Amino acid sequence: MTNDDASGEFEEFEVIPAVDIQDGEVVQLVQGERGTEKTYGDPVEAARRWIDAGARTLHLVDLDGAFEGERQNADAIDAVIDAVDVPTQLGGGIRTAEGAIGLLERGVDRVILGTAAVENPDIVAEISESYPDSVVVSLDAKDGEVVVEGWTEGAGISPVEAAQRYDDLGAAAILFTNVDVEGQLEGVATDPVRELVDATDIPVIASGGVATLEDVRALEGTGAAAVVVGSALYEGNFTLAEARAAIDVEE
Which residues does the annotation mark as catalytic? 20, 140
Whole-angstrom distance, CA of residue 110 vs CA of residue 59? 10
Looking at this protein, which amino acid is placed at residue 171? A
Element at 81 (helix H, strand E): helix 74-83
Cα gap 157→145, rounded to integer Å: 6
Rounded CA-CA distance 85/157 in Å is: 37
The residue type at 243 = A
176-193 core/surface letters (b: 16 or more CB in 10 A; e: else): bbbbebbbebeebbbebb
Which residue intervals of 11-73 are DSSP H helices?
Answer: 43-52, 63-68
